[in-house]
Amino acid sequence: MHEKQLIINVNPTETRLALLEQGDMSEIFIERCNEQGLVGNIYKGIVTRVLPGMNSAFVDIGLDKSAFLFGGDVLDAQKSESSLSLEDHKKIEKRPIEVLVKDGQEIVVQISKEPLGTKGPRVTTYLTIPGRYLVLMPNFSHIGISRRIEDEAERQRLKDIVEDLIPGESGLIVRTAAVGIEENLLRRDIEDLLQSWKRLEKAISASKPPSFLYKDIDIIHKVTRDLYSNDIREIVVDDQDSYIQLGNFLQECIPEAREKLVYYQEKTPIFDVYGIEIDIGRALNNRVELPSGGYLIIEQTEALTSFDVNTGKFVGKVNAQQTILSTNIEAAKKIVEQLRIRNIGGIIILDFIDMESLVDREQVYNILLESLRCDRARTNVLKISDLGLVQMTRKRTSESLERRLLETCPHCEGRGYVKSTETEANELMREIMRFHALTGSHKFKVKVRKEIEKWIEEKSRKFFETMASEHGIDITIENAQLNRKLLREASFEVWNTEEL
């Protein structure tokens, strides 16, 4: 069991949560104030166009882009059977989408995937309301047990409990966190979920489409709820308000986690202390080093992501076969690590170094599967081919870290990336606080590109006002006329005016 830590960094424009395993970042979650997460939100919308040829429909839910509803995500009441799993229910033959929904029809949907690129969000009519231990599925009679609960006796125990508690025509999914939990806690979780559903039912009846109906808890509470397990040693947060609110939430929902909550008050930025800024920087590179001297090249495209394994400087000590096997084993573990850190989803191609031995290929494949056991995202992995290729898919619900933090370079016609203006502006704000902590100075002159200056003026003025009032920091911002065409040139400069 790996020792874990959850590190939470909060500022007025951005919230970041990092899960550390043995001191290294394994997952990162980022939410910006102008880009609130949408997955899990429930809306009352209007079907604007049914596309029989694509077995799909577009739904107006009040966002900038219409939501996309696939035929397999439409609950067909006439076909619902509690004996089937949710995934099997979606796969069985259904009536055509033009029979299930009509143009102009009012419909209640939940966002299952964030908007990606030019695409709007993907929605489903299979509504779910998550709790700490259980997920309520209103209007769909079904009992599901998390695949990550492998002990058959425990699965049966949980199923027996839930069958006695299941409310009416609703369904329940038992989450991994329910392992070992007593019946009274599961019962309380169900009661809380039913109260949420009753409030949602009232909102559905009272609202006119398109309208927003329901949002899950905020990202700090949600990630903590979903990631917490007994092997998390501490939960560290650097914002007092967030610390208090999270403490109240944990006391109510996960009492045993409350004593692990720590308020970080030091001057050095929290992500610097735990080395997370360095890990994020590495996760934006397309080259990843392996311990032996080999390396991976990671390329993300619109259609798929590829991992290319290379021996690099590693020449081995025995023979070529052993060198290739050792490199591929290291790569299999590192690939899973990078999938989690970078939040890569969709179609993924792994190009291992060719292995002539079937035994070697099986060994690498099994290590890959074993490494994926720690990944919360659903994956489907095919066998290694004779050419050393593995085809796999990983469930994608939001943009990858690369697409989240970077933007298309305007000077290379989309063939590369540079950090976005928002990312650079947030780095600048952290650099000022870092400078202040190291030098103790309170007066700074900041020279920035005009794009950053504009972003600061429009989006983060509150942050600078907070620094001025709480830390006595006086900041002068100037346009440095830096040319972005010179990509190696600094995007900003920070000067200590007390030494000028």
Contact status, residue 129 vs residue 154, Cβ threshold 8 Å: no
Q: Stretch 462-467: mean pLDDT, rounded?
A: 77
Q: Stretch 201-220: mean pLDDT, rounded?
A: 92
Q: Please give the backbone phi and psi of residue 452, each rounded to the nearest 5 degrees, phi first.
A: -70, -40
Q: 10 Å Cβ neighbour count for 237?
A: 25
Percent of the chain with pLDDT over 90: 52
Residue 281, pLDDT score:
92
Q: What residues form DSSP beta bridges with 307?
A: 298, 350
Check whether 267 has a pLDDT greater than 50. Answer: yes
Check whether 283 has a pLDDT greater than 70. Answer: yes
Q: Stretch 479-483: mean pLDDT, rounded?
A: 64
Residue 487, pLDDT score:
36
Task: Name the pLDDT band for 253 (thresholds 50, 70, 90).
Answer: confident
Contact status, residue 281 vs residue 255, Cβ threshold 8 Å: no
Task: Average the pLDDT over each of 357-361, 379-383, 466-470 and give the range with the smallest value.
Answer: 466-470
Task: Name the pLDDT band for 94 (thresholds 50, 70, 90).
Answer: confident
Contact status, residue 151 vs residue 140, Cβ threshold 8 Å: no
Residue among 168, 160, 141, 161 at smallest CA distance from 86: 141
Residue 436, pLDDT score:
84
Helix, coil or strand: residue 138: coil
Length of the chain: 500
Pick from 22-36, 241-255, 394-408 the range whose average pLDDT is largest.
241-255
Q: Stretch 406-435: mean pLDDT, rounded?
A: 79
Which residues make Cβ contacts (< 8 Å) with residue 338, sequence separation at least 6? 283, 288, 296, 298, 307, 344
Helix, coil or strand: residue 488: coil
Check whether 43 has a pLDDT greater than 90. Answer: yes
Helix, coil or strand: residue 226: helix
The end-to-end CA distance of the chain, in Å, is 53
Task: Name the pLDDT band for 474 (thresholds 50, 70, 90).
Answer: confident
Q: What is the CA radius of gyration of the chain?
A: 25
Which residues make Cβ contacts (< 8 Å) with residue 58, sequence separation at least 6? 47, 48, 49, 51, 66, 67, 68, 69, 120
Q: pLDDT of 139-197, one tens digit each?
A: 888 889 988 888 899 999 999 998 888 877 788 999 988 998 899 999 999 999 999 99
Q: How far apart are alpha carbons 280 and 9 in whole angstroms?
A: 14
Residue 488, pLDDT score:
36
Task: Name the pLDDT band for 287 (thresholds 50, 70, 90).
Answer: very high
Contact status, residue 45 vs residue 210, Cβ threshold 8 Å: yes
Residue 352 carries which DSSP code?
A: P
Task: Average the pLDDT over each of 129-138, 430-439, 458-467 and give the range with the smallest value.
Answer: 458-467
Edge-to-edge strand ranges of the sheet holding 232-237: 24-32, 14-21, 4-11, 232-237, 261-263
Record the tokens describing residue 454, joined without a space. Answer: 């504009």
Q: pLDDT of 362-372, one tens digit each?
A: 999 999 999 99
Check whether 322 has a pLDDT greater than 50. Answer: yes
Q: pLDDT of 100-136, one tens digit each?
A: 999 999 999 999 998 877 789 999 999 999 999 999 9
pLDDT, the chain, mean: 86
Residue among 351, 350, 355 at smallest CA distance from 386: 355
Residue 489, pLDDT score:
40
Task: Name the pLDDT band for 317 (thresholds 50, 70, 90).
Answer: low
Q: How far is CA 352 from CA 292, 327, 355, in A?
A: 15, 9, 8
Q: Stretch 271-300: mean pLDDT, rounded?
A: 93
Q: Stretch 197-220: mean pLDDT, rounded?
A: 92
Higher pLDDT, 475 or 173: 173
- Buried b / exposed e over 67-97, threshold 16 CB at 10 Å, is bbbbbbbbbbeeeeeeeeebeebbeeebeeb
Q: How far apart are alpha carbons 113 and 68 in whole angstroms?
A: 10
Q: How far apart are alpha carbons 369 and 127 in whole angstroms?
A: 31
Residue 309, pLDDT score:
94
Q: pLDDT of 44-91, one tens digit each?
A: 999 999 999 999 999 999 998 999 999 989 988 665 554 455 555 555
